[in-house]
Structure 1
């Protein structure tokens, strides 16, 4: 779509927040006293919420959904198409961790503030994380023709020139 076309909204169930099961709506101060808390914060790849899902399964479904959607958008609109996924903190942090190639057990080190923006460009060479957790507001640098070309097959080396 061009800048004058209305955006298409798609609901992607695989980007819903983690199913915390029995922990859903619990107060963090109370949950932090649970034995599982040390696993959630220290080894999330092993964390399975009672009555819910594992954090690893949450990451797997979210990353698969983002990559599938990106491939569809790229095929339909080209490699410089811009689209947005709106989700919850742990989902966003898990997708960022994957894009960085971080071990999932380090995903709790990533921050995703409410209403912040993270930009990831998926290419044949792998994901390129262009910004994380920004609330700067002006994303005009994402407009077609103004983006840095991250579509090359070689890995990015050195610093960038900025936007």
Structure 2
């Protein structure tokens, strides 16, 4: 069983404030977010073969806490995570640092939600480009897993929209429909890639039972 477990970073200060952080500025985890990262270790299987992480600081902070708690649980040395820019946050450009309630009033918000394949964030990235690099990142991780023992599992610590894009791709959904899923901060989402087609086996699972928010960016606060 070849699996990728996508871990969303824990609650950040921007999540708590209802701000779209994107790639800009310091955005550390809250106390809740740090606890979410530690608690997620208890939901992971033993013998994780690969750890990969976004290049954004809140994901690195989450990965460090998650891996430390994982090592403590299994009585092993703490693993290390290799950075993969393919799993970086969407570059929201000029939308970064703005409140979500304000962004929802913009004419382009409908495009983000219903026609993301046509959305280019002003001063930032096209959602289609983020989709393509996410797919590339998944395939790189699967290639690494393929040379390991049967049943290898990878953990990828990344962002809500990136997880949603990976899930949509696994389910054969076009980018247009990726907003039909949501991933909560500190949650785990698992895709089994061992069969003829990928199978989503868990979505937005967290120890506290928090769920992602619909019709937002990044899977909700």
TM-score range, shorter chain: 0.7 to 0.9
Q: Distance in 1 between matches of 2:91 and 2:198?
A: 26
Question: 1:114 Cα shift?
Answer: 0.6
Structure 2 unpaired stretches of 5+? 1-45, 48-73, 209-221
Whether 1:93 aligns to 2:164 is yes
Pick from 187, 199, 220 the counterpart of residue 116 of structure 1: 187
Question: 1:85 Cα shift?
Answer: 0.3
Partner residue in 2 for 1:126:
197
Output the TM-score relative to the length of structure 2. 0.57
Question: 1:113 Cα shift?
Answer: 0.4
Secondary structure of 1:17's aligned partner:
coil
Structure 1 unpaired stretches of 5+? 138-163
Question: 1:6 Cα shift?
Answer: 4.2
Count of aligned positions = 136
Whether 1:102 aligns to 2:173 is yes
Whether 1:27 aligns to 2:99 is yes
Which structure has the higher relative contact order (CA within 8 Å, separation 6+)?
2
Partner residue in 2 for 1:14:
86
The alignment's C-alpha RMSD in Å is 1.9
Deviations along 1:100-120, one digit per CA (max 9) or x if unpaired, are 111211111101001111111
Q: Distance in 2 between matches of 1:124 and 1:46?
A: 32
Greater strand share, 1 or 2?
2
Deviations along 1:59-85, one digit per CA (max 9) or x if unpaired, are 11012102211221221x223011100
